[in-house]
Amino acid sequence: MAGNIIMLVCMWFCAGLFLGMGLYASRREEPMWFWSGEKVPKDTVTDVPAYNKAHSRLFLLYSLPWWLGGLLGLAHPLAAAIVAVLACTAGLAWLIWSHGNIEKRYRKQ
């Protein structure tokens, strides 16, 4: 049971990070970045509030499997581990793909 609680804490910590990033993106006045160290100049984005809202939604959606996995881990740790692996692989690919779509939509040409 202690292992299940540890899994819950770890997965909810990850979920909380992505939730926090999503909330932070929704409140930023400057364009939200995606890659570490990347600064997005305001003059390169067509609609900063919409750009930030799209990134906010991206991070909030990505937090969902982590919340679910934490709960699932209390009763079914193997299923929670599968959710975590999928979030780290397919979920990460989805994040990168979605960020690319946001860039295409809101970046000035």
CA distance 14 to 27: 20
Q: Within 10 Å of residue 67's Cβ, how many Cβ atoms?
A: 16
At residue 88 the predicted structure's pLDDT band, cuts being 50, 70 and 90, is very high
pLDDT given for residue 24 in this prediction: 97
Structure tokens at 58: 């991206």
At residue 96 the predicted structure's pLDDT band, cuts being 50, 70 and 90, is very high
At residue 3 the predicted structure's pLDDT band, cuts being 50, 70 and 90, is confident
pLDDT given for residue 36 in this prediction: 80
* pTM of the entire predicted model: 0.90
pLDDT given for residue 82 in this prediction: 96
CA distance 3 to 22: 29
